């Protein structure tokens, strides 16, 4: 039986001692494994994972290791379980936890900072100064599940209560996995300007964060919202999520198109989600003088940037990492009020046992896959049984 001192459980949610988990072997290799079900400590709960979405960053980690960091180095052959965009049901409470109850449905954000460094104290826990320093005999209390600690490609995971977001019954498991993606877009817009009512926004790159960036910007009252990209099917989804204009950069110059659509002066904010080689130089020409550019994508190579143009035009550049400043809670608020339909980017669902197929769909964009979700077997049965 699963039991640990000070940990509360319930007979309604029996917990096994071991669970199925996928672990990273060599680069590109995910292997099925059995692991002990982890035990929550102070300020932590155990989440039964009901659904987990695959993110481009997971594909990056599985093939190249970074940005995951385990025991101070690459995550290969360390019994590490990736996966970070998951949701589920609270099934055990660590000592002293009364903020959540057993049986409550939650979605998670990724980063629990250490809570004691300068950035954590400022709410910038995704930039925790103790990132990844929780191995060996050091325990800084930092977790980033799926990056520096075990993640969601398994049946159960431990989460700090600060990484939990309660979700309403009406929100499906699949939609709930998208809250952190919308939260990342929300954090980018928070850093740019907070409320953007009546201001103009360009989102470059219609990946999941870009598409939900369009939705969040529109929900915040931005006008107009312009989306640029190369694939018409994704631009169409962008329109459905609130883009006033879409620009296929294969057909026209992105900078000229943005300026034409916005009276020649450029827009107030650019949310750069493409990671394209010339994206920064284009973004600083799409934005107006004194405007702000948020960089949310990881480009693969170093690229020269026209710094003089940035200085002459008093342009502000912000890099963001993940979903800081509780932006995930604000994104969830929009989603539970049905201000936009994030499920438009969910395209496929597989069982947890079929994770390698799910990953292939996400990676090769099989059948126009955008967000591929993996679900635990018997989740629905569990929930019905508990009610």
Question: How far from 297 is each of 7, 136, 176, CA to CA, in Å?
Answer: 39, 31, 22
Select from 30, 61, 62, 117 the one that contacts Zn ion (CB under 5 A). Answer: 117
Minimal distance, residue 37 CB to Zn ion, in Å: 24
Handedness of CA 8, 387, 355, 31 (dihedral sign): positive
For residue 298 the two structure tokens come to 């990881």
Of the candidates 339, 366, 328, 326, the one whose C-alpha atom is nearest the C-alpha of residue 350 is 366
Residue 81: phi and psi, rounded to 5, are -105, 115
Select from 120, 192, 271, 276 the one that contacts Zn ion (CB under 5 A). Answer: 120
Residue 312, Cβ neighbours under 10 Å: how many?
10
Handedness of CA 126, 130, 135, 138 (dihedral sign): negative
Minimal distance, residue 117 CB to Zn ion, in Å: 3
Closest residue to Zn ion in the complex (CB): 55
Closer residue to Zn ion in complex, CB, 133/196? 133
Report how far residue 143's alpha carbon sits from residue 146's, in angstroms, rounded to the nearest whole number.
Answer: 9
Q: Cβ distance 301 to 323 under 8 Å?
A: no
Closer residue to Zn ion in complex, CB, 149/288? 149
Q: State how beta strands 267-272 and 316-319 pair.
A: unpaired
Select from 39, 44, 49, 57 the one that contacts Zn ion (CB under 5 A). Answer: 57
Contact status: 81 vs Zn ion (CB under 5 A): no
Minimal distance, residue 178 CB to Zn ion, in Å: 10
Residue 26, Cβ neighbours under 10 Å: how many?
8
* Three-state secondary structure call for residue 53: strand
Applying CB under 5 A, which part among 69-77, 120-128, 237-245, 373-381 lies near Zn ion? 120-128
For residue 40 the two structure tokens come to 């929550």
For residue 204 the two structure tokens come to 């470059």
Closer residue to Zn ion in complex, CB, 37/370? 370
**Helix H or strand E encompassing 102:** none
Applying CB under 5 A, which part among 34-42, 69-77, 118-126, 371-379 lies near Zn ion? 118-126
Contact status: 113 vs Zn ion (CB under 5 A): yes
Contact status: 128 vs Zn ion (CB under 5 A): yes
Closer residue to Zn ion in complex, CB, 177/288? 177
Minimal distance, residue 131 CB to Zn ion, in Å: 8
Total residues at interface with Zn ion (CB under 5 A): 8
Contact status: 182 vs Zn ion (CB under 5 A): no
For residue 201 the two structure tokens come to 């926004």
Applying CB under 5 A, which part among 13-21, 108-116, 225-233, 280-288 lies near Zn ion? 108-116
**What is the per-residue binding string for Zn ion in 16-55, x denoting contact by CB under 5 A?**
---------------------------------------x
For residue 323 the two structure tokens come to 């979903």
Closer residue to Zn ion in complex, CB, 55/219? 55
Q: Which residue has the tokens 């292997």?
A: 31
Minimal distance, residue 38 CB to Zn ion, in Å: 21
Task: List residues near Zn ion by CB under 5 A.
Answer: 55, 57, 113-114, 117, 120, 128, 130
């Amino acid at each position: 039986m699963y039991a640990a001192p000070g940990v509360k459980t319930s007979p309604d949610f029996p917990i096994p001692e071991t669970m199925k988990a996928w672990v990273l072997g060599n680069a590109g290799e995910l292997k099925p494994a059995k692991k002990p079900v982890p035990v929550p400590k102070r300020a932590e709960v155990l989440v039964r994972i009901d659904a987990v979405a695959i993110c481009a960053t997971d594909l990056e980690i599985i093939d190249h290791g970074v940005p995951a960091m385990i025991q101070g180095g690459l995550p290969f052959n360390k019994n590490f379980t990736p996966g970070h965009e998951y949701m589920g049901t609270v099934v055990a409470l660590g000592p002293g936890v009364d903020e959540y109850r057993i049986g409550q449905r939650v979605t998670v954000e990724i980063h629990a900072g250490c809570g004691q460094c300068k950035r954590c104290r400022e709410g910038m826990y995704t930039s925790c100064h103790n990132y990844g320093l929780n191995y060996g005999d050091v325990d800084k209390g930092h977790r980033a599940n799926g990056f520096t600690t075990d993640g969601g490609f398994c049946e159960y995971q431990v989460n700090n209560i600060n990484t939990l977001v309660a979700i309403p019954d009406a929100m499906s498991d699949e939609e709930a996995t998208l809250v952190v993606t919308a939260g990342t877009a929300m954090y980018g817009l928070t850093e740019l300007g907070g409320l953007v009512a009546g201001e103009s926004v360009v989102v470059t790159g219609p990946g999941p964060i870009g598409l939900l960036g369009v939705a969040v910007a529109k929900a915040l009252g931005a006008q107009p919202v312009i989306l640029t990209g190369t694939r018409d099917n994704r631009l169409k989804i962008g329109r459905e999520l609130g883009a006033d204009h879409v620009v296929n950069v294969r057909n026209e110059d992105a900078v000229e198109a943005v300026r034409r659509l916005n009276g020649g002066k450029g827009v107030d904010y650019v949310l750069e989600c493409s990671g394209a080689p010339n994206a920064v130089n284009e973004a600083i020409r799409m934005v107006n003088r004194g405007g702000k550019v948020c960089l949310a994508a990881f480009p693969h190579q170093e690229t020269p940037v026209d710094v003089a143009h940035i200085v002459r035009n008093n342009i502000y550049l912000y890099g963001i990492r993940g979903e800081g400043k509780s932006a995930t809670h604000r994104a969830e608020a929009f989603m539970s009020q049905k201000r936009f339909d994030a499920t438009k980017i969910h395209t496929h669902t597989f069982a947890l046992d079929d994770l390698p197929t799910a990953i292939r769909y996400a990676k090769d964009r099989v059948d126009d896959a955008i967000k591929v979700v993996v679900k635990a077997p018997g989740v629905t049965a569990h929930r019905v049984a508990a009610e």
